[in-house]
Structure 1
Amino acid sequence: MMVLLKAIGALDHGNSKNYQTVCTHYGLRPKAMTDIRKIRRQLIQIVKSILPETATILDSRLLPPTEQQICLLRKILAAGMVDRLAKRIEGPVVVNGHKANNAYQTLLLEEPVFIHPSSVLVNDLPTFICYQELHETTRIFIKNICGIQMDWIVQLNPHLCSFGPIEDEPCPRYDEIQDKMVCHRKATIGQRVSWSLGPSIETVFPTDTIDRFRWFGKYFLDGIICPRLLQFHPALLCSSNAMVKSWASLMERTQKFLNALVAKQIDNRTQLIEIWSTEPQYLLDIYCTWLPESLHTQVRSVWPPIPK
């Protein structure tokens, strides 16, 4: 991918009068490069019509992408070419009666495939790659490839993965950036073949279990969801861990708190703030049952506990 981007950028910065010469020198097809330029101009016009403030930036020549932009481009490829994934095979394989190393397995073929010798990644050998095409000679080669990270597969294409049960360690947590509860599970991808995506991978909490509300409740009591409640955490009459214990239903305060979250389907901060905009007393009385009565007046003075 980066090789192609560099080629396009070099032509963009080069002398238009020597366009044909540059293409010939680098082994590029002039017509293909001309088509790329036309498509890029079309995309620029579309973006400018939607985001006029980007006009000045887009009118300038194509600059080399930053490391962050490269990462985002690789993620785009991983999301759009998920059916064309390949995983490196550990150890040698037999091809045409001979042992061969550095082979890959694809989701589509039973036969092993290989990175083409002309690829810049032939020595890096990423564990997972996505590819554009297969080319068969004495072996099957994958061409126009891009190395991707294992966890991207789950992040970008969770609907194509199969997940195991939620693991106890590391325990589920609240991800403030995503504003979601996340947990660790074993994951695989593929139907004809089943690839393990590592011993454990962090993913968004499944929606088919009530446990996501239990864990959200625990972190609410800890002051993680609403930092203004952190001052009351040391005074809790019962550990917040009670929310996620197997016997939690035996305690009235844990069950009431859970029922209140489930009733409104609250498992993230954004939903909670939206509820408070119309029901500012939501969770107040239930939260007070977790604290000594001497603190109730102070709690009511900061409720709802959202930043001012």
Structure 2
Amino acid sequence: MMRKIIIAIFLVFSLSACARIENYFAEKTAVAQSATAALWTFTPTATPTSTFTSTPPATSTNTPTATITLTPTPTFTPTITSTPTISPSPTFDFPTVKVHTTAHCRYGPSSAYLHAADLYADDTGSVRGRFANSAWLFVKFDKLSYWCWVSPSVVDLTGDVTRVNYIIPDLQSIGSNQYGPPHNVRATRNDNQVTINWDQMNMTEDKDRGYFIEAWVCQNGAYLWWTVSFPNQFTTSYTVVDEPGCSQPSYGDLYTVEKHGYSEPITIPWP
């Protein structure tokens, strides 16, 4: 028993000694380490820092669009050929007239038509037309601003009148008639005579130029163009010879005439 106690006491003292020895060396080591640490130079450890690098924004790259290139079609350039020189056509010279006696120029190709102008010796003009059913000429006299008809018997003609065109007189182009055509026109036949009657058209004295008949009649086997005028409104009847023997029918038109011109025609009911 005693022996166990002695061994236990020995162990206690041994352990205490060991603890003091360990504390001694630990303190010495700490002092040494502190002295050594005091001699150290602090060298900071570089901590890697993420450096921000500015990345340029992505540049938009235009993707080229396919361009359609039209290839021009070859154009053939015509070979320049010399153009023949056109020879000027000879200018047509209208026949000319010179009045040799005092006369009238009229609005139609006979003396039955309305007066258009007075003509005097030495008046000159050019022939612009002719009529198929008479020898009268359609003339532009130098002293007038319009055309009118003249009998070839009162002028001296120079030039070839057969080269001039035929003209049909247009009575409605002369002027405006204020009265209109005659009324109640009728016709009767007595053998070879045709009598035409109509009602009087009341006109003022200054405008009154009577009436005008243009007809086609048959005489001696010939189909004749026939014109007749009446000086005033009081003549309301006319008789003309019209015989058988022509291949074409006889007919006629009647007009009222006043100083401004002719009315519209009214057809004569030919018997």
TM-score normalized by the length of structure 1: 0.18
Structure with greater proportional strand content: 2
- Return the structure number with greater relative CO, CA threshold 8 A, min gap 6: 2
Structure with greater proportional helix content: 1
Structure of larger gyration radius: 2
